[in-house]
Amino acid sequence: MARTARDVLDDALRTLAPGGGTVRLVPEIASGRAPRAALAAFALEQHHVITSDRRSFAHLAERAGEGRQPLAADFFDHLVRGEDVALDRLGPLAAACGLDEAAVRAHEPRAGCQAYPAYAAWLALCAEPVDVVVALSTNFAAWGGYCATVGLALREHYGFDDAACGFFDFFATPDPEGAQRTLAAVGGGLTDGRLSEPLAHRYGRLLRDYESMFWETLSP
């Protein structure tokens, strides 16, 4: 029986799911033990991550379109719009952490936090777009879970309001349209013979590890 897009994504998710204890800071935030400085650092680093990822996704959409992969292009266009929302919602989070625009502009990013977007930029230049669809989708599943945990904790332990938690709520909320675009893009890659599951898993593994590095760098 031929493999389906769902088969590909389910296998990738099982293979690449983070192991227990991979991210130390999230449980610290969940319990209220993490210092507010770590939350501020998160907001500062995310300004760089989001702006970089948006450009990477836009480039992937352009490459996919030029390569006659309209379903993959639609997937990345959807991500670009999501990054616009995320950047807009990052402002209230930064303000709740006591950061003004001058502090955001003055921040010098940390290498460990920016390894993920740097690798995403490499993927945008070098990887087959549909392989990146699979790799990103597995990482987004873990990221969404982290954001759900942090959003709840910020309300319970840190007194943040809904606006301040909007960044995390956005990523924690299920995205049916994004899921449909993911399945369509992977299905198109299977039909066209463009998908390489070993490479998609390699890319996903590295994104997972760079994601862990981001959180580890923020840990006090």
Which tens digit of pLDDT belongs to each residue from 152-192? Answer: 999 999 999 999 999 999 999 999 999 999 999 999 999 99
- Name which of 146, 17, 149, 135 is nearest 79 in CA terms: 135
Average pLDDT of span 71-79: 98
Average pLDDT of span 95-124: 97
Average pLDDT of span 66-70: 97
197 Cβ contact partners less than 8 Å away, ≥ 6 residues apart: 8, 11, 12, 134
pLDDT of residue 220: 80
In the predicted structure, residue 20 carries a pLDDT above the cut 60: no
Average pLDDT of span 45-68: 98
* Higher-confidence position of 3 and 58: 58
pLDDT of residue 18: 78
Task: Give the predicted TM-score (pTM) of the model.
Answer: 0.96
Task: Name the band, by pLDDT with cuts 50, 70 and 90, for residue 19.
Answer: low
- Name which of 91, 95, 82, 97 is nearest 36 in CA terms: 97
